[in-house]
Amino acid sequence: MSIAILPLAVFAISQVGTPGPANMALLATGARFGFRAALPFVAGVALGKQLIIWPIGFGLMELAETAPAVFKALKYISAAYIIWLAWKVGNLRLGQGAAKATAPGFLAGLIVHPLNPKAWAMIVGSFTGFVGAGVAPLTATATVAAVLLACQMVLHPLWTLGGQAIAQTVAGTRIEPYLMWTLAAMTVASVLFVLFAKGT
């Protein structure tokens, strides 16, 4: 058995590149603090996904089958946290207080994906959809980890740059509050889709 690397890469690009809690956090951080100041946060977000990939690759989902209630509770707690972040994004005004505030750092970025239901669904889908049954756990996990990290290294900075560009264009205009609440709504929608798409 083998790993379907090209289809996995296409899947990873489609998931990492589309709106979700992590990308909205990157967008908002880039918008408020600028690309350069946001780079430690970007690095934390990218590496934080590895904290999920490796445990899943080495059997975390088997543990989930033995204690489903615990994992379901964690899923909803994580979703509540992301929705709270979305509320903060909705109320954020670009550049407001940025001179006094400090951009979130590496450690703040590191916890984004572990608390992101979309990230969990993406990683589980990567293993179940593209890894053959006979592939060694180390090989499978390292491959999934490398493909997802490569996509993140390209796409996460682009979302952050996009936030900076948005701030330069709409900050202080009438469009700004509507834009921020639209981004917040997209974040909530992505979380709700992951929670309820399969009726779980």
pLDDT tens-digit series, residues 176-193: 888 778 877 877 777 777
**What confidence tier does 32 reach under pLDDT thresholds 50, 70, 90?**
confident
pLDDT average, residue stretch 10-16: 89
Say if residue 40's pLDDT is above 80: yes
Say if residue 59's pLDDT is above 70: yes
Q: How far apart, in whole angstroms, are the C-alpha atoms of residue 4 and residue 65?
A: 26
Q: What pLDDT does residue 120 have?
A: 85
Q: Please state, as a whole number, how many other Cβ atoms lie within 10 Å of the Cβ of residue 126.
A: 24
Which token pair is 76?
């909803």
pLDDT average, residue stretch 62-66: 65
Percent over 70 (pLDDT), the chain: 83
Q: What pLDDT does residue 37 have?
A: 92
Q: What pLDDT does residue 200 have?
A: 44
Q: Output the average pLDDT for the chain.
A: 82
Contacts of 8 (CB under 8 A, 6+ apart): 126, 129, 130, 143, 144, 147
First and final C-alpha spacing in the chain: 30
Poorest-pLDDT segment among 70-74, 79-83, 112-116: 70-74
**What confidence tier does 27 reach under pLDDT thresholds 50, 70, 90?**
confident
Q: What pLDDT does residue 188 have?
A: 78
**What confidence tier does 70 reach under pLDDT thresholds 50, 70, 90?**
low
Q: Please state, as a whole number, how many other Cβ atoms lie within 10 Å of the Cβ of residue 140.
A: 20
- Hey, which of 43-47, 71-75, 100-104, 177-181 has the most confident mean pLDDT? 43-47
Q: What pLDDT does residue 199 have?
A: 45
Q: How far apart, in whole angstroms, are the C-alpha atoms of residue 37 and residue 32?
A: 10
pLDDT tens-digit series, residues 97-154: 545 568 889 999 999 898 887 888 888 888 888 888 788 889 989 999 999 999 999 9
